[in-house]
Structure 1
Amino acid sequence: MSRVQKLTHTRLEWLWLLPFAAALYYPWALQWSNQAHVAEAGAPVTLALMLSAYAVPVLAFYCVFVTGIQPVMTARVVLARRLACLAVAAPPAYTLMGVLLYLMKINGHDLWVWSGLWLALIAYFSMVSSTLPSIDFSRHARTYVKLRVAHGIASVAILLVFLAPHLFNHLFGVLGSDAHRAVMEVLRGVYRNGWLEPIIIVTFFFQILSGLVLIRPRTQQRADLLDALQTASGAYLALFIASHINSVFTLARYFGTDTDYAWAVAEPVGLLADAWSIRLVPHYSLAVFLLIAHLACGLRGVLRNHGVSETRCATLTWTVIGIGALATLVITAGMLGVRV
């Protein structure tokens, strides 16, 4: 048994403090990164502060992984694991909260509202009984399997119709806004079709709801690294999709804003220089990586069910994840103003 697996029960009881502290720190990391960039403190300082913002979901994912490999899944461990999944989704949650506060004309108080929400969450977490009510999914096994299959089929459909072309479009960001717009105008003629767009939106909402149902039993089961990645990325994407749809349809289109590449990267100021928009750097970049990682882990499950060896499953999964990491770097570079 590894050293990580030998964590004592007492340490696991307090493991939830790590994602909690990380989530509280997240808006401060963004604020200090913006201030360092505006003050021209130097690229190393700004980069270090931005990396500390990325460390928040990384630390939270570590907690998801550690709690998932324990031999005994107690009620407190499951609660800590669910809190860690929520902390992994701190970037889209913080963006969603910021948009909602903007719509309510509550400006300049994002950091304090965020802190208050997390303190309230921890107060609830601390008062929850150690006996965790759970659903016996073995009694609903056939329904659960059908939902999982439907979730997978919907994922493939939305990947082919929207996500793959959308990510391909964003790769053109490193060539400039004009190149990105040229591709975007062609693609918009497809996925903004009067009958197709509503289907895409409904499918996204189905993915959110079905994904949340599928996540719950997974937080009560033992899991390896890739299983933990699938669970954590699912939590992230659920909040990201909700945040993105809210931003595009409620904020941008309601106010008549063209949601093009210039809007997404806060031109001409830039994401790092804008105190509000800097949150979009981890928000978008992690979404790209975790989307591809989530799809890769889902593919792993399909291959396993069809008798493919664990070695081949792992090799293919990590290869796709590696491709996702490369695509993320290119897209993020374009968002930050790198041009080729």
Structure 2
Amino acid sequence: MNKKSADTTLAIWIPAAAAAIYPWILEAFHWSVTPATSDHSGTQLSTIAILTASLLLMAAFAVPLMNLMIASRPQHTAALTAANVRARRFALLAVTAPTLYVFFGVLTYIAGSKVPDQWIWSPAWLVFGYVASRSTDAVMPQHTRTSAHLRVVHGICGALAALYVVFHIANHLFGLISPEAHAAVMDIGRTVYRAKLIEPLLVAVMLFQIASGLRLVWTWSVASSDRYQMFQIASGVFLSIFILGHMNSVFIYARTWLNIPTDWAFATGLPSGLIHDSWNIRLLPHYALGVFFVLAHLCSGLRVVMLAHGVKVPLANRCWWTGVLLSILISVAIICGMTGLRLA
């Protein structure tokens, strides 16, 4: 095996291993905070327990970040091989591990599986990694450029979907005030986006965004891309799984399977909450990254539009970085509200 083949193999096995151990990181986090929430609910965590929990939570967030970096690594050859492309696409899929694990968990619960999720999840990723690593060194054919019309329509539909997304995210920020404030704002919004005419159209737009976005990803993943474009691609892949999983949780799991309202209690996993439940902890990275990626993805789209209209690259990049930093702050604020922080 030559060095290039070894590098490509590692670019598959590292994401596979990272995704495989992701549930165990969350499990370790749960056990690190369990002493304060089991028989000693009034007992505060020790400094060591807090430090351990913090490091484990950072490790959980590092999984998609590391996979994004692997997917974004520059290709030093003019012609990409099938192995190069498959490694990149596999890393992009592994970026979605936090949201895919939630989607997977809901599906196994509905199916009535008695096997713990991680005992299916981890071997599956290792098998996927083995299959992906078997790709050949054949040179990929010149990729076909995607239709400009598809990119334009994807952008227009994305702008329409952003109207709902921005309201939905702003709604969650009201959780920092109180669950009642969140519910009051949500009730106002639902008079619009749950209207009989609007809701099916909104679902159709979301499904179109997933289908068209993945079509663009499939083509762009073959081409040489800079880190900005690769971030846009990776965030789009993450959002495709996130949106599908979110619609499954709302329309199938909550409304159909359990026949319960999708309110604050549903979103935050009450009464246990997001932090102190071994299943619900997976929702924390899922929500945090979902908010971050959807806002940052919109920033990436805005950057493309700015460049297309003659804005200088340094200015467009500064705007992108500003948007990404704001996305992080908003994501952190929402998670703080969902885990119990109140401003008043």
Aligned partner of 1:39: which letter? P
Alignment of 1:210-249 (within 5 A): 210-249=212-251
Aligned partner of 2:25: which letter? A
Structure 2: runs of 5 or more not aligned: 37-44
Report the equivalent of 1:56: 63
Report the equivalent of 2:183: 181
Of 4, 9, 15 in structure 2, the residue corresponding to residue 19 of structure 1 is 15
- Conserved 8 A contact 2:13-2:129: no
User: Deviation per CA, 1:189-218, whole angstroms, max 9, x where unpaired?
Assistant: 110011000000011000111011000121
Residues 9 and 123 of structure 1, relative CA distance in 2, 3 Å threshold: closer
Report the equivalent of 1:195: 197
Report the equivalent of 1:284: 287
* Distance in structure 2 (CA, Å) of the matches to 1:321 and 1:232: 14
Structure 1: runs of 5 or more not aligned: 1-6
Report the equivalent of 2:42: none
* Distance in structure 2 (CA, Å) of the matches to 1:80 and 1:232: 13
* Distance in structure 1 (CA, Å) of the matches to 2:243 and 2:142: 26
Aligned partner of 1:118: which letter? W
Q: Give 1:322 deviation, angstroms.
A: 1.4
- Conserved 8 A contact 1:169-1:183: yes
Matched residue count:
328
User: Deviation per CA, 1:9-62, whole angstroms, max 9, x where unpaired?
Assistant: 642442222111110110001111111111235322212111111111011011
Secondary structure at 1:84 match in 2: helix
User: Deviation per CA, 1:286-314, whole angstroms, max 9, x where unpaired?
Assistant: 01101111111111111111111101111
Query: Is 1:271 the counterpart of 2:277 in the alignment?
Result: no
Of 297, 307, 310 in structure 1, the residue corresponding to residue 310 of structure 2 is 307
- Conserved 8 A contact 1:78-1:219: yes
* Distance in structure 1 (CA, Å) of the matches to 2:184 and 2:167: 13
Residues 69 and 310 of structure 1, relative CA distance in 2, 3 Å threshold: farther
- Conserved 8 A contact 1:69-1:224: no
Q: Give 1:116 deviation, angstroms.
A: 2.6
Report the equivalent of 2:95: 88
Query: Is 1:47 the counterpart of 2:43 in the alignment?
Result: no
Query: Is 1:35 the counterpart of 2:41 in the alignment?
Result: no
* Distance in structure 2 (CA, Å) of the matches to 1:292 and 1:103: 30
Report the equivalent of 2:323: 320
* Distance in structure 1 (CA, Å) of the matches to 2:139 and 2:284: 37
* Distance in structure 2 (CA, Å) of the matches to 1:39 and 1:87: 32
* Distance in structure 1 (CA, Å) of the matches to 2:139 and 2:188: 51
- Conserved 8 A contact 1:69-1:223: no
Aligned partner of 2:170: which letter? F
Q: Give 1:75 deviation, angstroms.
A: 2.2
User: Deviation per CA, 1:103-129, whole angstroms, max 9, x where unpaired?
Assistant: 110044200110132122123213333
Secondary structure at 1:59 match in 2: helix
Report the equivalent of 1:294: 297
Q: Give 1:152 deviation, angstroms.
A: 0.3
Aligned partner of 1:172: which letter? F
- Conserved 8 A contact 1:303-1:313: yes
User: Deviation per CA, 1:208-236, whole angstroms, max 9, x where unpaired?
Assistant: 11011000121112222211110110110
- Conserved 8 A contact 2:157-2:205: yes
* Distance in structure 2 (CA, Å) of the matches to 1:38 and 1:263: 22
- Conserved 8 A contact 1:36-1:45: yes
* Distance in structure 1 (CA, Å) of the matches to 2:221 and 2:268: 35
- Conserved 8 A contact 1:13-1:77: no
Report the equivalent of 2:125: 118
Report the equivalent of 1:169: 171
User: Deviation per CA, 1:126-147, whole angstroms, max 9, x where unpaired?
Assistant: 3333336657314xx5xx2111
Q: TM-score, normalised by structure 2?
A: 0.91
Does 99-108 or 237-246 show the bigger shift? 99-108
* Distance in structure 2 (CA, Å) of the matches to 1:157 and 1:90: 27
Q: Give 1:275 deviation, angstroms.
A: 1.0
Report the equivalent of 1:4: none
Secondary structure at 1:14 match in 2: helix
Alignment of 1:67-82 (within 5 A): 68-72=74-78, 73-82=80-89
**% same residue:** 36
Secondary structure at 1:253 match in 2: helix
Aligned partner of 1:94: which letter? Y
Does 265-274 or 37-46 show the bigger shift? 37-46
Superposed structure 1 runs of 4+ greater than 6 Å apart: none
Report the equivalent of 2:339: 336
Aligned partner of 1:70: which letter? H
